[in-house]
Amino acid sequence: MSQLKHDYDDIPGTTVFDADLSRKGYHLNTFFFTLMKQENRDVFKADQTAYMSRFRLTEEQRAAVLARDWNEMIRLGGNIFFMLKLSFSDGMSVQQLAGAMTGMTAQQYAQMLLDGGRSIEGNRSKSEWANG
Amino acid sequence: MADLFAGVTTSHVPAIGAALDNGKTAEPYWAPLFKGYEPTKAWFAKMKPDVAILVYNDHACAFSPDVVPTFAIGCADEFLPADEGWGARPVPVVKGDPEFASHIAQSVILDEFDFTIINNMTVDHGLTVPMSLMFGQPKEWPCRVVPIAVNVTQYPFPTGRRCYALGQAIRRAVETYEKDLRVVIMGTGGMSHQIHGPRAGLINSDFDARFLDNLTADPAALVAMPHLEYMREAGAESVELIMWLIMRGALDDAVEEIYRFYHVAASNTAVGHIILENKRSAVRA
């Protein structure tokens, strides 16, 4: 890993996709990127495991994709903008994808945004989450 | 001589494009948002720019994980809408201005900003949603586009200061182009939003209001803001706002705020929009 300490590591519930994660997630993100073509989406949907075997994914990464565990994909180097190719292929909106990572139901998450979104108060620092 | 007379910023939420493409603009959820852009469409129809320099970020569509350029300029004669996973948006092909773009590339690179020159790329919602908001749903877009793609998806991003200075270099490039062209520059992305992780859905309207105020009146205050402050205060993906500083750097210090619109929320995102005219241009128009 990088020698640098990151100031952004203190932001709660947030993963900044940096050069370290880019390297870790390279094959995973390459897989997502191929889903921009309809013919690839068709092959993937017909047999997800077989399609993923074309890429040098780790066992953890394959399992996270099959489980649609979006936070786990992020932890394993997935970049949200590449991941959108998978969620769009699944027919999810960006709001549904984002909501799925919060632990809220889709309805609760949508309502939170209708009510003005998640407040910044109490959400600036990991210390606030640890205490709350 | 080319004249860069105004700057426009707007958010570029993909759901806005989907709402337009699927005929949902009159629905209660969407109607207030589209109403907010009616004065903008009238302004563009009146000002009739020949070219828009459109600063946006590629959302992992044109640029694969293999290569992510920090600053790139599209010099092609046309740019096809990208298929982002559900088919390409049914919008017109974006027409470029290769001669003008190449001039800007040459000028800006020799001015010590190292653009990557792109001769073939698709453009995603980051570019086409702003076009739809400015121009509606015409058969052909009414102006040519010089796309400038900025990396805000893989940290480290360029600093706000560097973005502002790039805007200044773009302005110097425009001013040395000999053809008569009416040019607007657009900065897109933002405002508050976070679309990943357990903190997704964050909106900070106070931050956004200060940003909009300072964009007009005190851009120096914004230029000094570190990435951390954007990401912490307004959501990780709000860092797209550094692209608005490229727009601002290309304008005069003294600008007139012609129009502002702010709306919470479209999908996950606070939508912000502003039109600034150089005061000298405002007098001439």
d(CA B223, CA B216): 12
pLDDT in tens, B44-86: 999 999 999 999 999 999 999 999 999 999 999 999 999 998 8
φ, ψ dihedrals at B27, nearest 5°: -65, 150
Mean pLDDT score of chain B, rounded to an integer?
96
Closest CA to B236 of B194, B206, B197, B180: B194
Identify from A80, A92, A127 which residue to disrupt to test chain B contact, counting B C-beta atoms within 10 A and taking the largest count.
A80
- DSSP H helical segments within B156-264, as ranges? 160-175, 205-217, 219-223, 227-234, 242-249
Instruction: Compute the average pLDDT of residues B23-32.
Output: 97
> Given this model, what pLDDT does residue B281 score?
64
Query: What distance lies between CA B105 and its chain's CA centroid?
Result: 18
> Given this model, what pLDDT does residue B280 score?
79
> Given this model, what pLDDT does residue A130 score?
78
Tell the residue number behind the tokens 């426009």, with chain if given. Answer: B8
pLDDT in tens, chain A (132 residues): 556 789 999 999 999 999 999 999 999 999 999 999 999 999 999 999 999 999 999 999 999 999 999 999 999 999 999 999 999 999 999 999 999 999 999 999 999 999 999 999 999 999 999 754
Beta strand B181-188 with B51-56 is: parallel
Instruction: Compute the average pLDDT of residues B276-281.
Output: 87
Beta strand B51-56 with B2-10 is: unpaired
Radius of gyration of chain B (CA): 17
φ, ψ dihedrals at B276, nearest 5°: -120, 130
| Paired tokens of B88 | 């390409």
Cα dihedral B28/B33/B36/B37 (nearest 10): -120
Tell the residue number behind the tokens 């590629």, with chain if given. Answer: B58
A81: left (phi over 0), alpha (psi -120 to 50) or beta: alpha
Eight-class DSSP state of A61: H
List chain B residues with CB under 8 Å of A32.
Answer: 60
CATH 3.40.830.10 fits B2-284, yes or no: yes
**Residue pair A87/A106 in contact by the 8 Å Cβ criterion:** no
Catalytic member of B12, B59, B103, B125: B125
A64 touching B, CB under 8 A? no
| End-to-end CA separation in angstroms for chain A | 30
Residues 6+ apart with CB under 8 A from B266: B11, B13, B15, B16, B30, B33
Percent of chain B with pLDDT over 90: 96
| End-to-end CA separation in angstroms for chain B | 16
Task: Evaluate the omega torsion of the peptide bond into residue B191 and state whether it is cis, within 30 degrees of 0.
Answer: yes
Catalytic member of B59, B103, B193, B273: B193
Q: How many residues does chain A have?
A: 132
User: Predicted confidence band at B285 (pLDDT cuts at 50, 70, 90)?
Assistant: very low
Closest CA to A87 of A63, A69, A60: A69
Closest CA to A116 of B221, B208, B66, B167: B208
Closest CA to B241 of B200, B172, B190: B190
pLDDT over threshold 70, residue B209: yes
CATH superfamily, with its number, for domain A13-91: Dioxygenase LigAB, LigA subunit (1.10.700.10)
Test B233 with A120 for CB contact under 8 angstroms: yes
Query: Which of B60, B153, B204 is opposite residue A120, by nearest beta carbon?
Result: B204
Query: Which of B66, B154, B196 is opposite residue A15, by nearest beta carbon?
Result: B196
Instruction: Compute the average pLDDT of residues B142-161.
Output: 98
d(CA B68, CA B85): 20
The domain spans of chain A are: 13-91, 102-132
Closest CA to B188 of B237, B147, B127, B144: B127
The domain spans of chain B are: 2-284
Instruction: Compute the average pLDDT of residues B142-168.
Output: 98
∠ Cα B215 B217 B218 (to 5°): 75
Complex confidence, ipTM? 0.95
pLDDT over threshold 70, residue B226: yes
* Catalytic-residue membership of B125: yes
Instruction: Compute the average pLDDT of residues B118-130.
Output: 98
d(CA B88, CA B74): 19
Query: What distance lies between CA A5 and its chain's CA centroid?
Result: 23
Instruction: Compute the average pLDDT of residues B95-116.
Output: 98
> Given this model, what pLDDT does residue B104 score?
98
d(CA B227, CA B224): 10
| Paired tokens of A70 | 């979006």
pLDDT over threshold 50, residue B283: no
Query: Which of A37, A94, A118 is opposite residue B199, by nearest beta carbon?
Result: A118
Test B195 with A80 for CB contact under 8 angstroms: yes
Strand partners, B79: B94
Position B136, amino acid: G
Query: What distance lies between CA B22 and its chain's CA centroid?
Result: 23
> Given this model, what pLDDT does residue A30 score?
98
Query: What distance lies between CA B167 and its chain's CA centroid?
Result: 12
